[in-house]
Structure 1
Amino acid sequence: MFLFMSNFSVLITTPPYDSSAGASALTFIEQAIAQGNVVNHVFFYQQGVYHANSFIRPPGDEIAMPDAWRSLHESFGVRLLVCITAALKRGVCDVHNAQEHEINAANMTAPFEQAGLGEFFTALHECDQLVQF
């Protein structure tokens, strides 16, 4: 029997705590990989960039989404790309941009990577399917 395995790109546009979309995305990615599929990257765009904010500390009974994404990256090597323009607009920045814009502290750290829309569109050429949450 021939099984078609897919290469996925996952797009996150919702904030981490206004819905269960982030948790659903994590579950989808883990299940896709368990079934032999490849998830090339997750691209955080619009309100989704808040998933990369390491200053977010939810109550103990909620998932700490930035930590959950880091764990996903460590377990499966999935790239975590954050739209640089959307992130800066919402106050999410790495060390380089914090220094460049004279912001006191960076709140986005590895394994999250800054990327532009051009890089996202280029990465889409390596994927069979785009799934948005």
Structure 2
Amino acid sequence: MARFVLSLHTPPSDHDTTQRIVKFANACLAQGHTIDAIFLYQQGIYHASTHFDLSSDELQISALWQQLADQKLNLMLCVTAAQKRGLDIKNTGVFKVAGLAEFAMLASDADKWVQFK
């Protein structure tokens, strides 16, 4: 089985890409693969924002991330991208703050790195 690292570069308003990464992660896990990390980068860091106020008929993004966290996935947030965009890095929900070096090490050890843009 393969070891994957995934990265998400788009904001929460890009529902298609958000749903694609979640479905891909679930499909990988269902087939017995391992996901070493999902890394939020660039505009993707906004997925870790706790300031979502979504109506019930919108995609419940935080619930999707919580489901992945419940599966013990390593959900990471780029600290530099978050700080540049004014995200509160002390309040990131299910995401762990990490640097690009940590992500690069995980990606280099994985069999596949898949970017969602």
TM-score, normalised with respect to structure 1: 0.81
Give the structure 2 partner of residue 99 of structure 1: none
| Aligned counterpart for 1:123 among listed residues 90, 97, 106 | 106
Q: Letter of the 2:35 partner, please give it.
A: V
> How far is the alpha carbon of 1:67 from its aligned partner?
2.7
Alignment correspondent of 2:81: 86
Could you say which residue in structure 1 is the equivalent of 2:21? 25
Note the aligned Cα RMSD (angstroms).
1.3
The higher radius of gyration belongs to: 1
Give unpaired runs (5+ residues) of structure 1.
Answer: 96-105
Matched-pair contact (CA < 8 Å) for 1:56–1:64:
no
Asked whether the equivalents of residues 15 and 59 of structure 2 are also in contact (C-alpha less than 8 Å), the reply is: no
Deviation at 1:77, TM superposition (A): 0.8
Q: Which residue does the alignment assign to 1:67?
A: 63
Higher relative contact order (CA 8 A, sep 6+): 2
Runs of at least 5 residues in structure 2 that lack an aligned partner in the other structure? none
Mean alpha-carbon deviation: is it higher for 118-127 or for 26-35? 118-127
Counterpart of 2:12? 16
Question: Number of residue pairs matched?
Answer: 116
Shift of 1:125: 2.8
Q: Which segment drifts farther, 112-121 or 55-64?
A: 55-64
Per the normalisation by structure 2, the TM-score is 0.92
Identity of aligned residues (%): 34
